Amino acid sequence: MIEIIPSLLVESAAEFERRLRLVEHDCDTVHVDILDGSMFGHTSWHDVRAIAAMRTNVKYELHLMVENPLPIVEAWHAHIKGTIRAIVHAEISRPVGAVLEHVKDFLKMETGIALNPETPLKDVESVLHHIDVLLLMGVHPGASGQPFVGDYLFEKIRAARNHRADLAIELDGGVTFDRAPSLVAAGATRLCAASAIFADPDPAAALKRLREHANMALT
């Protein structure tokens, strides 16, 4: 079964909670995009104490598009027990391996690496066998609703799948109903979506429909 993970990239507490409530009963995990302006010139709302007060049964996956992810991960780990996974970008200036080791060994959370569209897979081959998920960006980080970067991403998915058959491969950005089956056929096991879900008049129905489209590739 392919997992569809709704993505929350918002600018206010009200919008975060509105979107969370729209999908919380139809998914296991939501993806929180965290930007502080240090990597991509964009910021997002991600006040951990305010989010902790939003009682929910869903788990949180953190996509840390920041230069210094550990203080943020530690805050989420301390305040929200449902934080299960931290994904950091390969492009940060800090030693990625040491960051991931701290998250996995000290915080006991799942770890992941995110790659920008232009970052080659070979840059992270040394750590691919030590992470739980590889997140491949289908758009340039920073904003929802961008166009898909191109068909070369399918080759990147296939290469990652060939490198490690059991690796969870997540695609973030440019996920549409039409594109989902092809992404899964290439080897993606999780699809992260924002516009395809929240731009629909009925986000919960769109989430279910996207899951059906993605799993078409498995039949």
| Per-residue model confidence as pLDDT tens digits over 3-44 | 999 999 999 999 999 999 999 999 999 999 999 999 988 999
Residue 116, helix vs strand vs coil: coil
Spell out the CATH class of 3-218. Answer: alpha beta
- More confidently predicted of 216 and 188: 188
CB atoms within 10 A of CB 204: 17
Q: What is the pLDDT of residue 147?
A: 83
DSSP annotation of 135: E
Q: Identify which of 89, 164, 79 has the alpha carbon closest to the alpha carbon of residue 125.
A: 164
Question: Model confidence over 93-116: pLDDT tens digits?
Answer: 999 999 999 999 999 999 999 999
Mean pLDDT of 112-130: 94
Question: Model confidence over 142-167: pLDDT tens digits?
Answer: 777 778 988 889 999 999 999 999 99
- The whole-angstrom separation of Cα 130 and Cα 178 is 32
- The whole-angstrom separation of Cα 149 and Cα 137 is 9
Q: Identify which of 84, 79, 71, 85 has the alpha carbon closest to the alpha carbon of residue 55.
A: 79
- Cα(first)–Cα(last) distance of the chain, in Å? 10
Q: Identify which of 141, 135, 180, 178 has the alpha carbon closest to the alpha carbon of residue 160.
A: 135
| For the chain, percent of residues with pLDDT exceeding 90 | 89
